Amino acid sequence: MKYINADIILPEELLKEVQKYVQGGMVYIPKPEGLRKRWGENSGSRLYLKNRNQEIRRLFGNGTTIDELSAQFCLSCDSIKKIVYSKDK
């Protein structure tokens, strides 16, 4: 997150109103709800995990055991079970 000086971007009236509540501090202004990105969308983690889980489901469907998948993907057997027995979103 980049620091921006409020007196550069805010109109003077708005700046004075904000200064009634905060003087010399930092204020975080969040994005509107509809513009927020979900966890992992910027880094690609969400897509990576989706693809990994699809591969686990595919291998399980082709007969690979839960123990084999656990060793191959370095996940616990319980984690593999959650992936293969959950409904794909």
* pLDDT at residue number 4: 86
- Average pLDDT in the 73-89 region? 91
Residue 89 has pLDDT above 70, yes or no: no
Q: Which residues of 18-49 are buried (b: 16+ CB within 10 A; e: fewer)?
A: eeeeeeeeeeeeeeeeeeeeeeeeeeeeeeee
Kindly report, residue by residue over 3-57, the tens digit of the pLDDT: 888 889 999 999 999 999 998 888 888 888 877 777 887 888 999 999 999 999 9
Q: How many CB atoms lie within 10 A of CB 51?
A: 10
Higher pLDDT among residues 5 and 75, named by residue: 75
d(CA 83, CA 49): 11
pTM for the predicted model, two decimal places: 0.60
d(CA 88, CA 60): 14
